[in-house]
């Protein structure tokens, strides 16, 4: 054990580590249209370049893989451990209250800013763990590599690109979840429903509905435009929907049309119960209102019946299921668009190991068809499972227990990380159990002490696995 040396090291270097995290947070890095030499746009390329500059200034070997990923190597020794982190972020809304998304601030022991927890903070903590091992002069016989990606939030094409060129390390962890160790990541189905219909001009009618912007983010807002109904007529329905859904509804009349806006709370689609879905709440409202009967309105009501507000387990869709090691299925209806001649909606379902085409996809297809909706032709993706009884996982748990004083155990999550398709990859940190970082939502934060705890723990793990 090198615990006291590690503690002393981060006592001296914590301020610089936090400053480096803030430097990366200030660079907006959500995915943008491809540019020459920048597959995910300027922001992701710029933040990757800056992070690699940090590592180079520390004396590490770096390589930029065409702005898909960058790598930081301890040395030229045989590969042993990869740490997979990402520098891209999800888009931001306009409802941040503590600070602006790209103006990091530390308040009450929390570092606020987009990417502070997901995943720039943990990425820099992992980099500083490598720096601590080197600066403390602790000899390693095998290499540790930090891999920094730029497309984790939109499909992980960056990591696919990397692994087409480099082999997996014998052991890999991603500090993009929580402690202790996540050895199971649910499989899932990201799909949707659609329907076409003829325009019906009978009033009152719905002209448009729009909500959600990303399939793995619970939508915090939705908007519809109605014709042939006044705000006074709609007010009572909105008040009732507000009571049943917890959403806030606002009404605006202009040029003979009524706009209704719904405000909820965003969240990661892997934990839809932690948010308040503005799209499903809006559908609940509209389905209860006295619109003229039409094929379009009937299809909208069918979507609300298939994905009712507050049903995070797929009960209405007939796919609710659970197993002992990976837990319950979750289903989040996250994007919806409706017009006078058609509608589309997309959902993100995280499925336990027991789920398959027969008890999930086929059931949804039949249920949708019975309501006059067509399910998108998408394939399920498999669950990921690394046995808890491996030397790698046992080492991670032992180090965690020594540094935290808490019980080390393996967990299953609905979220997918970079390790989902790796043979011996797990998620490890960087938040402690019970911490809600508001990931993918407004006022995202990382607990400063948890970032430092992660850096110390990663340092010990590198020593244990690579010396």
pLDDT band with cut points at 50, 70 and 90 for residue 243: very high
Per-residue pLDDT at 127: 98
pLDDT band with cut points at 50, 70 and 90 for residue 440: confident
Q: What is the mean pLDDT of the chain?
A: 97
* pTM confidence score: 0.77
Per the CB < 8 A criterion, the answer to whether 293 and 270 are in contact is: no
Catalytic (active-site) positions: 88, 152
Cα separation values, 447 from 8, 396, 432, 435, Å = 20, 21, 9, 8
pLDDT band with cut points at 50, 70 and 90 for residue 439: confident
Per-residue pLDDT at 415: 77
Cα angle 26-30-34, degrees, rounded to a multiple of 5: 125
pLDDT band with cut points at 50, 70 and 90 for residue 442: very high
Structure confidence by residue, pLDDT tens digits, 45-78: 999 999 999 999 999 999 999 999 999 999 999 9
Percent of residues, the chain, with pLDDT higher than 90: 96
What would the mean pLDDT of 386-409 be, rounded to a whole number? 96
Per-residue pLDDT at 414: 86
What three-state secondary structure class fits 294? coil
Structure confidence by residue, pLDDT tens digits, 283-332: 999 999 999 999 999 999 999 999 999 999 999 999 999 999 999 999 99
Helices (DSSP H) in 248-385: which residue ranges?
278-288, 295-306, 362-370
pLDDT band with cut points at 50, 70 and 90 for residue 416: confident
At residue 1, does pLDDT exceed 80? Answer: no
At residue 370, does pLDDT exceed 90? Answer: yes
């Amino acid at each position: 054990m090198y615990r006291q040396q590690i503690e002393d090291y981060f006592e001296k270097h914590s301020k610089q580590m936090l400053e480096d995290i803030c430097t990366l947070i200030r660079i907006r890095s959500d995915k943008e249209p491809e540019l020459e030499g920048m597959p995910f746009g300027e922001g992701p390329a710029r933040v990757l370049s800056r992070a690699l500059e940090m590592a180079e200034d520390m004396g590490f070997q770096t390589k930029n893989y065409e702005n898909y990923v960058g790598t930081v190597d301890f040395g030229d020794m045989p590969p042993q451990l990869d740490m997979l982190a990402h520098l891209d972020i999800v888009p931001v809304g306009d409802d941040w209250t503590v600070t602006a998304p790209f103006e990091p601030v530390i308040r009450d022991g929390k570092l606020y800013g987009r990417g502070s927890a997901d995943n720039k903070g943990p990425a820099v903590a992992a980099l500083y763990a490598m720096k601590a091992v080197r600066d403390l002069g602790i000899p390693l016989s095998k290499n540790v590599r930090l891999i920094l990606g730029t497309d984790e939030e939109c499909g992980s094409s960056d990591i696919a690109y990397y692994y087409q060129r480099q082999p997996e390390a014998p052991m890999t962890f991603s500090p993009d979840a929580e402690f202790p160790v996540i050895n199971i990541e649910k499989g899932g189905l990201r799909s949707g429903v659609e329907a076409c219909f003829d325009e019906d001009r009978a009033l009152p009618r719905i002209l448009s509905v729009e909500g959600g912007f990303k399939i793995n983010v619970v939508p915090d807002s939705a908007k519809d435009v109605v014709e042939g109904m006044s705000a006074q007529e709609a007010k009572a329905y909105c008040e009732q929907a507000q009571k049943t859904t917890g959403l806030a509804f606002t009404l605006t009349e202009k040029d003979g049309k009524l706009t209704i806006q719904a405000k909820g709370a965003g969240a990661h689609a892997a934990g839809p119960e932690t948010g308040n879905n503005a799209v499903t709440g809006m559908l609940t409202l509209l389905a209860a209102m006295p619109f003229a009967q039409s094929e379009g309105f009937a299809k909208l009501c069918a979507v609300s019946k298939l994905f009712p507000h507050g049903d995070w387990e797929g009960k209405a869709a007939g796919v609710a299921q659970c197993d002992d090691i990976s837990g319950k299925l979750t289903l989040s209806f996250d994007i919806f668009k409706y017009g006078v001649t058609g509608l589309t909606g997309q959902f993100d379902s995280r499925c336990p190991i027991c789920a398959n085409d027969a008890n999930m996809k086929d059931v949804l297809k039949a249920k949708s068809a019975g309501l006059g909706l067509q399910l998108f032709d998408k394939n399920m993706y498999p669950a990921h499972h690394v046995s808890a009884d491996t030397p790698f996982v046992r080492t991670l748990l032992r180090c965690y227990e020594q540094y935290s004083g808490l019980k080390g155990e393996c967990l299953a999550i609905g979220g997918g990380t970079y390790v989902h398709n790796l043979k011996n990859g797990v998620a490890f940190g960087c938040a402690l159990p019970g911490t809600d970082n508001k990931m993918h939502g407004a006022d995202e934060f990382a607990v400063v002490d948890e970032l430092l705890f992660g850096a110390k723990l990663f340092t010990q793990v590198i020593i244990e696995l690579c010396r």
